[in-house]
A and B are shown apart, each in its own frame.
Chain A
Amino acid sequence: MTGILKIAYKLLVNDKGKFAALLIGITFSVFLMIQQTSMFAGMMRKASATVTNTGAKVWVMDRAVTSVASSIPMPDFMRDAARSMKGVKFAVPLYLGAGLARLQDGTYQGVSIIGLDDSSLFGRPELIEGNIEDIYAENGFVVVEDAESPKLENPKLGTTFEINDNRGVIVGIAKVPASGLFGIPTLYTTFSRAIQYIPSLRSTVSYILIEPTSVAAIPGIKIEINKLGYEALTEDEFIDRITNFYKYHTGMGTNILIMTVISFIVGLSISAQTFYTFVLENLDRFGALKAMGAKGRELVYMLLFQAGITALAGYGLGIGLCTILIAAARLRVPDYASVITFGNLALAFGMVLVIAAISSYIAVRRVLKIEPFDIFRS
Chain B
Amino acid sequence: MNAIEARDLSKWFGEGETRTNAVQNVAFDAHFQEMLFIVGPSGSGKTTLLSMLSGILRPNQGTVKIKDQDIWSLSADKLADMRLHTVGFVFQDFHLFPKLTTVENVAVPLILKRRKWDEAIKEALQALEKVGIAQRAGLSPQKLSGGEQQRVAIARAIVSQPDILVLDEPTASLDGDTGRKIVEFVKRDILNAQRCIIIVTHDDRISEFADRMIKMEDGRVMEIEKGQGHA
Contacts and interface: CB of A to CB of B under 8 A. Distances in A.
Interface of A: 1-4, 6-7, 10-11, 14-15, 282, 284-285, 287-295, 298, 372-373, 375-378
B111 A7 contact: yes
26 contacts: A1-B114, A2-B117, A3-B114, A3-B116, A7-B104, A10-B99, A11-B97, A14-B99, A14-B100, A15-B99, A285-B95, A288-B91, A290-B80, A292-B83, A292-B84, A292-B108, A293-B81, A293-B83, A293-B109, A293-B112, A298-B112, A372-B51, A373-B51, A373-B57, A376-B47, A378-B92
B168 interface: yes
Contacts of B117: 2-3, 6
Given A2-B117, A3-B117, A376-B47, A291 B89 contact: yes
Interface of B: 47, 50-51, 54, 56-57, 76-77, 80-85, 87, 89, 91-93, 95-97, 99-100, 104, 108-109, 111-112, 114-117, 120, 168
A375 B91 contact: yes
Contacts of A377: 47
Nearest to A15: B99
Nearest to B11: A373
A367 B139 CA distance: 27
A282 B99 CA distance: 10
A284 B80 contact: no
B95 A3 contact: no
B149 to A, nearest CB: 13
B104 to A, nearest CB: 7
Nearest to A287: B95
Nearest to A11: B99
A10 B104 contact: yes
A373 B117 CA distance: 29
Contacts of B82: 293
B56 A372 contact: yes
A375 B95 contact: yes
B112 A376 contact: no
Nearest to A19: B99
Contact of B112 (A284, A287, A289, A372): A289
A219 to B, nearest CB: 60
Contacts of B85: 293
